[in-house]
Structure 1
Amino acid sequence: MSTRPVSDDPRRTELAAFLRSRRERIPPERAGLPRTARRRTPGLRREEVAHLSAVGVTWYTWLEQGRAINVSSAVLDAIARALQMDPTERAHAFALAGTTDPRAETVCPAVTPTMLRLMETLAPYPASLQNARYDVLAANRHYADVFGDPAELAPDERNCMWLLAMSDRWHEQFLDRDEMLRDLAAKYRTSMAEHVAEPAWKARVARLLEESAEFRAIWERHEVAPMVPHVKRYRHPEVGLLRLEHRNLWLSPENSAYRLVAYVPADEETAGRLEKLADLTAVPG
């Protein structure tokens, strides 16, 4: 095997140091390996990590030396699992490697007890926690009262772009629904530029392209749009017209990944109608 030069990319040097630090913190027993009497370094050996990851020892050694080698997402996934990385550590490793994490999100760092309490304090205004793909990760009762309860939907359908394209309720009750769908598709394309190879982003578009001829026509326009505050007009069957200003509170500095979305009354009539709706749907107690 020929040797490889050390990469001049500072991220590769940082990745090498990060992997070494993760390897050295894991005792063999925690990785399901027997502890031998003589170990020159703490934690796992390089050959043990290579074995657990099903990669070559020489290749893994080069990786920890910061050599100029290709690192695929599948191989880095195996290494991250062997090194028992948590979600934050995984994200850091994949960012340093400049590759996409193939595993779908399983834990959302935005949905914490603190953020849920903050979302609830916006009552009686509708509010939700969303990610960059417009997935609705959590919502308060008032969001459910106005737009429908996300918990009643299949997990893959708890997404604003999907609901605008496919939900009969959203189609009928959002008065500017057609314009909103075009605008949201353009915003999604803008955000997707930094995630174009990621499976979760591609899967969202692929399913809509398959299910909706309307969405296919919109997506083929290749339109892009910035994220700016705007007013949504929504006709609620119980309290009438609601004019809601869409406001975002960013929770992460990285690609606006997570945000608290609040729907604030755009006029006094809407404020009164939201209070009325909250009273109508209040649980006695």
Structure 2
Amino acid sequence: MESSTHGRLQELAQFLRARRARVTPEQAGLTFSGRRRTPGLRRGEVALLAGISVDWYTWLEQARNIQVSTQVLDSIARALQLDANERNHLFMLALQQLPADLTPAEGEITRTLQSFLDQQGTSPAYVSDQRLTIVAWNRSASLIYGKYEEMTPRERNSVWRTFTSPYVRRMLQSHWESHARHRLAQFRACYGKFVGDPWWTELIEDLSRASAEFRAWWPQHDVLNGPEGLKINHHPTAGRLVFEQISFSVMDQPHLTVTINIPSTDDDTVAKLQKFLVEGTAVTP
């Protein structure tokens, strides 16, 4: 066994033992009586909670070079009550790759992150999840792009909106196709983590029925990550708006992506937005 593999498996074994010692039977929902020689859960209890054999789990704690599936690792992560960072660490040690992120509850963002969005002022800013559904936004984004607060989760999905909303087509005009292809390629890249998941399957089927462009482009398998850069919108009230787009992941919530559309300084976008934010009301998309 290579020294790097041996070291990784030893680290995995130590990590599992440390996390097992941290969880009490009471926290795991188990009942017990009498004194225990070791803190936390026993190996057999972790195996029971994870639905795997005691031998299999024991081999992991013995740093044996065995093949484990993502389903087994997810079961162990739940049994040991690992948080998102610990779960990622477990997958990196066991498989040398990150897991597909668990889909969080709808609208799950921190007050600090919402405050950050609100402080962006004339820069429309929003947070999207790994499904490319917008889960948080600031007032500028709501006024420019539509009343997110009145939309259903499906309507706030940026892929669904791109291909089905007449408002989005009017806003983007001649730039719609490049935007739509870019958004679809992002969606395809995200879908790679969730192939076969019912939510994704249903959306793809619905989009295929709703949009001829989606039907034609989806089989091309274009894949892309990253922001769009220059973005030109034609708002029905504020007029032509030019933005530079930047996106980044949230450190403690890596399933979320923050996108900020920064008004261009090369034209009068800032002045238009300042006036619109004072006087304007959101249009219904």
Shorter chain as denominator, the TM-score bin is: 0.7 to 0.9
Partner of 2:181: 182
Amino acid at match of 1:45: R
Aligned to 1:3: none
Number of matched pairs: 274
2:80 corresponds to: 83
Q: For each residue in 1:221-249, what CA deviation from the matched residue of structure 2 results, as whole angstroms up to 9, or x when unmatched?
A: 33345635522222212222222221234
Distance in 1, Cα, partners of 2:160 & 2:37: 55
Percent identical: 35
Q: Distance in 2 between matches of 1:95 and 1:227?
A: 23
Task: Kindly provide the CA deviation profile for residues 32-68 of structure 1, in whole angstroms up to 9, marking residues without a partner as x.
Answer: 2234323221111101111122211111111221222
Query: 1:173 aligned to 2:171?
Result: yes
The separation in 1 between residues aligned to 2:74 and 2:224, in whole angstroms, is 33
Q: Are the aligned partners of 2:232 and 2:241 in contact in 1 as well (CA < 8 Å)?
A: yes
**Structure-to-structure mapping, 1:1-285, within 5 angstroms:** 8=5, 10-98=7-95, 101=99, 104-106=102-104, 111-131=109-129, 134-175=132-173, 176-189=175-188, 191-192=189-190, 196-199=192-195, 204=200, 207-208=203-204, 210-212=206-208, 213-225=212-224, 227=226, 230-252=229-251, 258-266=256-264, 267-281=266-280
TM-superposed CA distance for 1:188, in Å, is 4.3
Gaps of 5+ in 1: 1-5
Q: 2:150 is aligned with what amino acid?
A: E
Deviates more, 1:164-173 or 1:104-113: 104-113
Paired with 1:96 and 1:119, the residues of 2 have a C-alpha distance of: 35
Q: Any gaps of 5 or more consecutive residues in structure 2?
A: none
What's the CA shift for 1:13? Answer: 3.1
Which moved further from structure 2: 232-241 or 147-156? 147-156
Distance 1:80 1:249, change over 3 A: closer
Structure 1-normalised TM-score? 0.80
Q: Offset at 1:23?
A: 0.8
* 275 and 12 in structure 1: CA distance in 2 versus 1, 3 angstrom threshold: same
> How large is the RMSD of aligned CA atoms in angstroms?
3.4
Structure 1 CA distance for aligned equivalents of residues 199 and 93 of structure 2: 24
Distance in 2 between residues matched to 1:16 and 1:251, nearest whole Å: 29
Name which of structure 1's ranges 204-213 and 23-32 shifts more when overlaid on structure 2. 204-213
Distance 1:85 1:250, change over 3 A: closer
Q: Is the 8 A contact 2:28 2:79 kept in 1?
A: yes
**Does the aligned pair in 1 maintain the 2:124–2:144 contact within 8 Å?**
yes
TM-score (norm 2): 0.80
Distance in 1 (CA, whole Å) between partners of 2:259 and 2:197 is 20
Cα distance in 1, alignment partners of residues 4 and 248 from structure 2: 39
Instruction: State how far apart, in whole Å, the 1-side matches of 2:205 and 2:6 are.
Output: 38
Q: Is the 8 A contact 1:101 1:198 kept in 2?
A: no
1:9/1:153 CA distance change after superposition, 3 Å: farther
State the one-letter code of the partner of 2:279. Answer: L
Structure 1 residues 205, 27: closer, same or farther in 2, change over 3 A? Answer: closer
In structure 1, how many angstroms separate the alpha carbons of the residues matched to 2:195 and 2:9? 24
